Structure 1
Amino acid sequence: MKKVLGAELERLRLQSAVTQEQAAQRLRCGQSKIAQAEGGSGIKAATELDALLELYGADENDAAYARALQAESNRRTKRGAFSTRFKHHMRLLVDMEPSCNRMLSHRSMVVPGLLQTEAYMRAQFRAWRPSPTQDEIDRDTANRLGRQRVLDNAGQTFWFIIDEAALRRTPISPKEMKPQIIRLVEVIDRPNVELQIVPFEVGYYMGQEHDYTVFEYDTRTPVSIVYLETHDGGEYVGGNKISRYLELFDQQKAAAIGQERARRFLLDFVADL
């Protein structure tokens, strides 16, 4: 909501031909504060938001929308909410999965968490060092299985691109991998899911080494947020870099095979296991 509010404030400011410096003068702050607010840091004080809306000449509808966004962005996460089960860097990700309009995901070496079988999850968690306890593995597995329910949200679209390497170098045995491949085939039949595979025969393609997810929101001012996977956490990207990742995803879609060819590829793959 902070990202959406920032995009809306930027739209109103540009529409009124006000510069960031002029907005900063109204709030008696530095220009960087305006830039950060528009980038998604949020605005806590209602008086500051009202001052900007007045400066921008926002009409009643725009002002009400901005105030609702501010109220939502400043609302604390309820104790016991599903996202609070996760580490801090994961909480925004878990909140965005069920709230976005579209999710675009590329995975080069690992099956996406939303598509993993329980056996795959447990093996992946066991591979961490230092080794987690059995209780920690049980907890993390239950949490990831809980996240997968988001795929039942018919009003959202989920688009996955998976490199063949993610199917070849796995944490589980070929016997355990068969149900994982069947799971991917079944996902193809969901009306709100697109799944593409990039076979080795394609050769090199742009961004083949990058794992990332794009969350798109069809808000009044459309907003996209990119989550980059890292070894020990994750990084959220906004601003001008967003368009580069959207272009990259289009290039990867062009390199990958489509749904029906992906189905045949997966069925042939599982037959050879």
Structure 2
Amino acid sequence: MARQDNPMFLRQRLRERLKKARETAQMTQIEVARYFDWSPSKVIRIENGKIAVSVADTRGLVARYGLEAEEAQELVELAKSARRPSWYAAYKEIMTPALEIFVAYEEVARVVRNYERNVVPGLLQTEEYARALLKGLQDNGDHRTLELRVDLRMQRQRILVDNEAEFFFILDEAVLRRMIGGEAVMRQQFEALLRMNEKPNVTILYVPFSVGVYPSFRRPYQLFEIEPSGGDLIVYLESPAGETLISERDASPKVVEPTDYLDAFSRIEESDDSKPITEEALFGTPAVGSANP
């Protein structure tokens, strides 16, 4: 599914255009709510993305805002498209709600930044590496569930061919030295990393063991820069306790902000501590201070 066909992206476009239409009509959110006999918060939640807008509500809103017939029909069709199932709906049985949102953000983001300290990022994994990793993490021996998880991971990688988005990866050297699936699997994975790094929209760096401590190195994270939505920044954190998504636009109190992780990522990326992925780094003698492969 192309980025412009993703339901989340379509919902963002729809609510932004509805908000612009309301402002052009010089109506307040309260006035709109009163006209439709809605709760005062419904228009607010539609425009900030807290709830989806139905096709029927879209028809009512465009009529109230006085849009021309062609534009009104365009927004109604947009509302219909936004309610269609995503491609990853087929994997719903193996996805948590947080993972569903994560995959949607991953697909609509203009820029994706990923720091990993233990394993190769999912978007860069070969099928063999992913299968060996997920099999080792799986609590039961359900072959069907394993294959669904592997297939989902492979399908997600289609976004890497979209040059409209940029992808930046920083790996701790432990990612490169940890043996997953055996020597043959690791060789294939290293070759895949070199191929991926040749793409114009993909940058892969690593931080050698010799660097020691560096910003936010204790926890893997992913950052999504989302457009439209006024340049929202989302951070995804995964731990044994569960998954967490934090939006920069979220008004609730947060211990950390997505910008904290963005600053940490940028400091590593721009420093001499991060090194490019090369054949020597992957297949040659590790840098001084590194553990043996």
The two structures have a TM-score, normalised by structure 2, of 0.70
The Cα offsets for residues 174-211 of structure 1, whole Å up to 9 and x where unpaired, read as 66434323322221101221223344517331475242
Rate the CA distance shift 1:128–1:268 in 2: closer, same or farther, 3 A: closer
Please state whether the residue corresponding to 1:197 is helix, strand or coil.
strand
CA distance in 2, matches of 1:12, 1:130: 51
Residues 76 and 116 of structure 1: CA distance in aligned 2, closer, same or farther (over 3 Å): closer
Distance across 2 between alignment mates of 1:123 and 1:53: 52
Residues 32-47 of structure 1 correspond to what in structure 2 (within 5 A)? Answer: 32-40=41-49, 41-46=51-56
Question: How many residues of Structure 1 are paired with residues of Structure 2 in the alignment?
Answer: 267
One-letter amino acid of the structure 2 residue matched with residue 52 of structure 1: L
CA distance 1:194–1:129, shift in 2 (3 Å): closer
Q: Aligned to 1:127, what secondary structure does the other structure show?
A: helix
1:211-222 matched pairs, under 5 angstroms: 211-214=221-224, 216-217=226-227, 219=228
Distance 1:147 1:174, change over 3 A: same
* Match in the other structure for 1:85: 91
Classify 1:161/1:261 alpha carbon distance in 2 versus 1 (closer, same or farther; 3 Å): closer
Matches within 5 A, 1:174-185: 176-185=185-194
Distance across 1 between alignment mates of 2:12 and 2:101? 12
Does 2:124 align with 1:115?
A: yes
> What are structure 2's unaligned runs of at least 5 residues?
1-9, 252-256, 286-292
Q: Secondary structure of the equivalent of 2:139? A: coil
Residue by residue, what CA displacement relative to the aligned partner does 1:122-170 show, whole Å, maximum 9, x if unpaired? 2221222522333433343234233323323344433323333433455
CA contact (8 A) 1:115 1:148 kept: yes
Give runs of aligned pairs for residues 1-273 of structure 1, distance below 5 A.
Answer: 1-14=10-23, 18-40=27-49, 41-46=51-56, 48-53=57-62, 56=65, 63-77=72-86, 81=87, 83-86=89-92, 87-88=94-95, 89=97, 90-91=99-100, 93-94=102-103, 97=106, 100-169=109-178, 171-173=180-182, 176-200=185-209, 201=211, 203-206=213-216, 209-214=219-224, 216-217=226-227, 219=228, 227-229=236-238, 231=240, 234-238=243-247, 240-241=249-250, 244-245=257-258, 248-249=261-262, 251-256=264-269, 261-264=275-278, 267-272=280-285, 273=293
SS at the partner of 1:256? helix
Q: List gaps (5 residues or longer) in structure 1.
A: none
State the Cα distance separating 1:38 from its structure 2 match.
1.8
- Cα distance in 2 between the residues matched to 1:131 and 1:7: 44
Asked if structure 2 preserves the Cα contact closer than 8 Å seen for 1:11 and 1:221, the reply is no
Q: Percent sequence identity over matched residues?
A: 23
Contact 1:39–1:239 (Cα < 8 Å) also in 2:
no
CA–CA distance in structure 2, aligned partners of residues 256 and 101 of structure 1: 18
Return closer, same or farther for 1:256/1:220 CA change in 2, 3 Å cut-off: closer
Structure 2: how far apart are the matches of 1:137 and 1:82?
16
- Structure 1: how far apart are the matches of 2:189 and 2:156? 17
Deviation track 1:38-66 (CA, whole Å, cap 9, x = no partner) reads: 232211142x3244345556566764553
Which TM-score applies when normalising by structure 1? 0.74
Q: Which moved further from structure 2: 34-43 or 208-217?
A: 208-217
Q: Over the residues paired in the alignment, what is the CA RMSD in angstroms?
A: 3.9
Between 1:37-46 and 1:126-135, the stretch displaced more is 126-135
What letter is aligned with 2:118?
M
